[in-house]
Amino acid sequence: MPAFSRKTILAATDLLENRIHSDLNRFELEYGLENEPLPRGSIRDRATGIARYLLANPHATDEDGRNLTDVIVEVLVRGAM
């Protein structure tokens, strides 16, 4: 289970709205999300899709076995600092 609350996950993924489509494409590749059924609309739609995925898959792990939600939230928050 992720260490972060629902509100924290949503706040962190809101930070994706400051990116461009090519950044989100790369982000999805970095975290193994490229084959997930994520929306392909506006930046906001895509960021919300990532948030929905993380909330619906709290046990998902990254390639190193770490909780994917925790990794993504930490990376987004660190990038905002």
Sequence spans of domains, the chain: 6-80
CA distance 55 to 64: 20
CA distance 14 to 64: 25
pLDDT in tens, 17-67: 989 999 999 999 999 999 999 999 999 999 999 999 999 999 999 999 999
Cβ atoms within 10 Å, residue 45: 12
- At 1, the pLDDT band (50, 70, 90 cuts) reads confident
